[in-house]
Structure formats: C-alpha cells, structure tokens
Amino acid sequence: MIKVTRKHVVYEMSSSNCPAAVVESGEVVVFETYDCYQGQLLPEENTFEDVDRRFGNPATGPVYVNGAMPGDMLKISIEKLDLGPIGILDIGPTSGALKEYFPEAIIHRIRVTDNTLNYDGRLELPTKPMIGVIGNAPAKGAVSTMTPMDHGGNMDCTMITEGATLYLPVFVEGALLAIGDLHAIMGDGEVANCGLEIEGEATLKLEVIHNMPITFPVVEKETHWIVIASGATLDQASEKAAKQLFRFLTECQNLSKTDAGMLIDMLGNLIVCQIVNPMKTVRMEIPKWAIERLKHTA
C-alpha cells in the first residue's frame, strides 16, 4: 500500500503535473486530503478575509498508474473514507441559490466524532462521507479542480462514496489521478453553497481496464449503474447524461436501442449533483436487476 500525503497537491488537472507517486494496476493507494479551503478556515479566529483563494479545492496527487493509456478506463474501488475531526459549513453572498438571503458570509465549524456530526449542539446526524473532487488529467490543457468535465474533477456526486466503484476515462499516459474535497455530508444538488467540507483520507484500489468504449464517468453501486455528466447549464448536462446512459446500455450492456430507450423512460432517474460549480453536474441512475432481466430474455 502506498500513501500520498497532502504535501503533494494540485489546483489544476493536467498532463504537465509531475506525479506524486507511480503505482501498478491493482495497487491500493491512500490519499491524504485537505478540505476545500486547504485548512484555512479551521482556526476559530479566521474569516473569509483570511482565505487565499489561490489555494481553493486542492487535490492530492497526481498518481501515475503504470499501463494506463488513452482509451482505457481507470477502475477506482473506494475501499474506505476516513474523516477529520472538524468540518466547515458556510453560506454567503458569492454562490448558490440562496445567496441573496445571506449578504454576509456565515461559517460554522462542525465537530465530527465516531461517524456522527454535531450541528451546534442542537442536531446530530450520521455522516455520509463522499469524494467531491476526483479526476484524471484531461486530454488537452489544464482544468481547474473547481470544474467538472468528462475527466471527472469537481463532480460533487453523493454516490462517490465508500463501497462504490468509479470508472474514469484515461486521456493521458498514466491517467494522473488526483482527489480532494471530501464531504462529511452533502445534500444532492449542493444548492445553498457547499457540503460539510472536511479533511481526511481516502483508500482506493486502482486498476486499469482496457478497451471500454465509454469516455465519461460511470459509478457502480451494489444495485445501480450511474453515469455522470457536466454542462454549462443543467439542461445541457441533463441531455448529455441521458445520451451517456443510452450509450452505456447499448455499448457496454449490449441492450438493443429500443430496450435501452424504454428502460430509461421507465426506470432511469435523473438527479442533480451540484449547481454551484463553473459547470453544472447531474447523474442518471438505472437499476442493475432490470438490465440483467432484459439481457437474459432477449
């Protein structure tokens, strides 16, 4: 097992980033991560005036995976997510659907103990840890760790959690995977501003899968297949997600076009992941049992 510490962070995903580690396909890697503010709001006395925006959304890595080449997929099995003791919850005038109601920024520091968060001593909730930023290097140029695209990035999808398997397309040699922006809990849509931003560690098994005909992020859960799409607007992201799920069902699950389209209409669920990032992100979910039933009765 290899551990990549948060001494190695990037703020853009790019083929020009120097690898923090080189691993073999099938190896387990522990990524130590900052919160999305790189710890700048953890001191009680700090406010947003103390935050240096150049250090927003740090992603630990990247990790070079031997054998990963353009056209492959990186299979990422999320084995464990460990959270730090304090999370940051904030809301204010700069982003989100509620910004008009908050002319001044408000910061709450939330204690997390034994997988339970304590909101101001008035409400206890079980944590639902997830990875907000996870991505490979894009095919060209550099993409900010604030932005989600087909390479992954700041997708803020609540399904990217312990026990899930994420498949990310490889666009450059070695994949160059980087992750960060863990959340202790977050509502789907991330509509107000953020999740409970927290530092932590993610234990991931990385495997190279050759010859998969898809070029977008896919999540596998025990009961569902999920595709993730990002676009400049929610309309664009939604149409893209529907087409991606159709491709996944016809090209990877070998359903007919008719079966795939009708299955999407009957059982496909479109869910907003986040509306606060430079690109908006949605996901489409489809139950595995229905796919298998159609395949076996074709």
Cα 29 to Cα 62: distance, rounded to the nearest angstrom: 11
CA 268 to chain centroid, in Å, comes to 21
Tell me the average pLDDT across 274-278. Answer: 95
Q: Where in the chain is the domain with CATH 2.60.120.580?
A: 2-209
Reported as a single tens digit per residue, the pLDDT across 138-175 is 999 999 999 999 999 999 999 999 999 999 999 999 99
- Tens-digit pLDDT profile for residues 21-41: 999 999 999 999 999 999 999
Q: Could you read off the pLDDT of 232-255 as tens digits, one per residue? A: 999 999 999 999 999 999 999 999
Per-residue pLDDT of 37-60, as tens digits, reads: 999 999 999 988 888 888 889 999
Tell me what pLDDT residue 49 has: 86
| Residues facing 65 on adjacent strands | 23
CA dihedral 141, 144, 149, 150 (to 10 degrees): 50
CA distance 143 to 139: 10
DSSP string, 231-285: ESSHHHHHHHHHHHHHHIIIIIS---HHHHHHHHHHH-EEEEEESSSSSEEEEEE
CATH superfamily of 2-209: Acetamidase/Formamidase-like domains (2.60.120.580)
What mean pLDDT, rounded, does the chain reach? 96
What's the pTM? 0.96
Cα 173 to Cα 260: distance, rounded to the nearest angstrom: 33
Delimit the CATH 3.10.28.20 region(s) of the chain: 220-296
Predicted confidence (pLDDT) per residue in 71-126, tens digit: 999 999 999 999 999 999 999 998 899 999 999 999 999 999 999 999 999 999 99
Which residue bears the tokens 């666009």?
A: 171
User: What pLDDT, on the 0 to 100 scale, is given for residue 298?
Assistant: 67
Output phi, psi for 297, to 5 deg: -115, 10
Q: What is the pLDDT of residue 52?
A: 85
Confidence of residue 296 (pLDDT cuts 50, 70, 90): confident
- Domain 220-296 fold: Endonuclease I-creI (3.10.28)
